[in-house]
Each structure stands twice: as C-alpha cells, then as structure tokens.
Amino acid sequence: MTDPQHPEEGDVRPGCLYVVATPIGNLGDFPPRAQRVLAGVTRIAAEDTRNTGVLLSHFGIHTPLLALHEHNEERQAVAVVDALQRGDSIALVSDAGTPLISDPGFDLVRAARAAGCEVIAVPGACAAIAALSISGLPSDSFVFAGFLPARAGARRERIERLARESRSVIVYEASHRIAECAADLAQLLPERRVLLAREISKRFEQSVLTLARELPDWIAADPNRTRGEFVLVIEGAPQATDAATFDAQSLLRVLLGELPAARAAKVAAALTGRPKRELYDLALRLAPGRDESNG
C-alpha cells in the first residue's frame, strides 16, 4: 500500500500545476492519487486554508498552504506562476469538489497555461456530475448553469432563458433559496421533470425526480428537505419534431383557444409526439373546465 506522505514515482513533477478534486461530503471519496499529489507538491493553493487544513490533517498531509480565493486570485495567480517557473510543483484545491466548478481557480489555470506551464487534472468528486449521473434525465448532452441569481426577478429571467434549452440543465442552489427556486420552477416550467439531489454522499443524502409543479409540495412535506446542499437537474425543452420546435405547453395554450380539451390534446399529440393522455391532463390543468362537455 502507498504511504500518503510519499508520492509514487511520477505522481508529482516540478513546474506542474495540479488541479485536485476533494470530497463533496464523504471523506471516503478522496482518491489515493489526489492524496499522494497533495502530499508531494511544494505548496497547496486553497480557497480556504482552514477548511483544507482540517481535511489534510485528517489524512496526515502536512504540505504548506497558501490562500487563493475570489478576492486575491488575480494577484496570487502571478505569484503561483512565478513559483511554478522556478520549478515548484503546486496543487490547487477548493473547499469541496472540483476547483473552477462554481469555485475559484480560473485565473490561475489561465495564467499557468499562458506562461506555458503544464496543468494536470487529478479528477474526483463534482456535485453537478454526481447529480446528473443519478437523475434519470438525458445525460448525453447537458448544460451546467452554476448558481441561479439570488434576486427573485433575475432568477426568474434566468429560468425563462434556460427554459428554451433542449439539453438537461444542471444548477446549484443554496438551502435558503431552494423553496423559492422550486416555486419559480413550478410556475414557469410546470410540466418539466426536475431531479433534486441534496447532501450527495453525506449521511442524510436524498434525491427525487418529479414534475416541477410537484416540487414545492415535496419540499414542504418535511422541514429537513430545505437543509443542506442542493443540485437541481432540469429536463430540457421538448426536442424538435420537424423543422419547427413545438413546446407542448405553448402549443396547447394556442389550441385551447380554438378547440375543446380532448381535441386540442389529440392535435398536440400528433404534432409533438407526446402521449395524448398526458397532453389531455395538461390541457385540463391549463384550462380547467374546458372539457368536451363545455368546449
């Protein structure tokens, strides 16, 4: 077995920047190579030296740390690249998961590349990818949209823009905004499926795949469901059937202006390829009371 204090030969080379993923909750998800690299580099650039210090001491790693966060990154990037060019090997870590993914590190990686330094990934946990992998939503092509805006108006605007995206959309959300965000999704994209994953890899981890319109009730059913860290994966807009893209909901709204619910659902099913029954239920929700008898 490899001693984490002593890198295997070839793990760490002088002049290289290592971008190292750390666990997003479960300390068992800290790959041996990541531990060896962190033990073997000259210094570790960390988003929060205290947090990383706790993680490293748990694994018996004593490499010196330097702070690299959003407020000093531009300046620190210059110093780190200098050190790399003098032959130091440096690792970059964030508080959790993969650096640069809604975390600091972009300025440093860009500067290291511009200076011709080698940049090496030491892959591991990433909440976005973990959530996508368990979502049951299309994963062949997706969009990562980071955090939604904190302010209600801007968040709704962003959701409306993302609603046009045909690929699965992954977003991060904070616990104190998850209920508001779910309410917006329920209102703006009621028929889309949404995967909510919280506390991935931790003791109280939980995930649910539901229609957006059902998400607020699911969250409200248990106060624990607003606790912890969250990822949402939102189903993409329906695929184009032909040259034109038919969004079942918009289409039904137009058809319901002219036809009773059952006939509107039949036409919408023919145009979108979605099940007639599902569209009939949707038609009744969009225009309650507009069934055959009074249409």
User: Considering only 4-12, 89-97, 136-144, 253-261, which stretch makes contact with ligand SAM by CB under 6 A?
Assistant: 89-97
Among 43, 158, 202, 276, binds ligand SAM (CB under 6 A): 202
- How far is it, in rounded angstroms, from Cα 76 to Cα 63? 18
Q: Is 24 in the site for ligand SAM (CB under 6 A)?
A: yes
Which is closer to ligand SAM, CB of 29 or CB of 291?
A: 29
Sign of CA dihedral 58, 61, 66, 71: negative
User: Which 93-112 residues touch ligand SAM, going by CB under 6 A?
Assistant: 94, 96-98, 101-103
Q: Any residues with CB less than 8 A from the CB of 271 and at least 6 apart, and which? A: 241, 246, 251
Beta 43-46 vs 65-67: how paired, if at all?
parallel
Closer of 184 and 199 to ligand SAM (Cβ): 199
CB-based closest residue to ligand SAM? 97
Strands 16-20 and 90-93 come out as parallel
Residue with tokens 């994953």: 197
Q: Looking at this protein, which amino acid is placed at residue 263?
A: R
- Minimum distance of ligand SAM from residue 6's CB (angstroms): 28
**Of 81 and 200, which CB lies nearer to ligand SAM in the complex structure?**
200
Q: Residues binding ligand SAM: what is the number (CB under 6 A)?
A: 24
- Judged by CB under 6 A, the residue of 25, 104, 236, 238 near ligand SAM is 25
Cα pseudo-dihedral 199, 214, 149, 162, rounded to 10: 110
The footprint of ligand SAM on residues 142-201 (CB under 6 A) is 172-174, 197-201
* Burial classification of residue 98, based on how many CB atoms lie within 10 Å of its CB (0-12 exposed, 13-18 middle, 19 or more buried): buried
Closer to ligand SAM by CB, 27 or 254: give it: 27
Based on the shown chain and the rule CB under 6 A, indicate whether residue 37 belongs to the binding site for ligand SAM.
Answer: no
Give, as ranges, the residues between 212 and 251 that touch ligand SAM (CB under 6 A).
229-231
What is the rounded CA–CA span in Å between residue 278 and residue 295?
A: 19
Cβ proximity to ligand SAM: between 50 and 277 the closer is 50
Closest CA to 107 of 76, 144, 67, 65: 76
Closest CA relative to residue 263, chosen from 280, 286, 246, 241: 280
Within 110-129, which residues bind ligand SAM (CB under 6 A)?
126-128
Please say which residue, 103 or 291, places its beta carbon nearer to ligand SAM. 103
Minimum separation from the CB atom of position 26 to ligand SAM (A): 8
Distance CA 171, CA 148 (A): 7
Q: Is 135 in the site for ligand SAM (CB under 6 A)?
A: no
Residues 24, 200: contact at Cβ < 8 Å?
Answer: yes
Q: How far is the CB of 25 from ligand SAM (least distance, A)?
A: 4
Considering beta carbons, is residue 17 or 178 the nearer one to ligand SAM?
Answer: 178
Positions in the binding site for ligand SAM (CB under 6 A): 24-25, 94, 96-98, 101-103, 126-128, 172-174, 197-202, 229-231
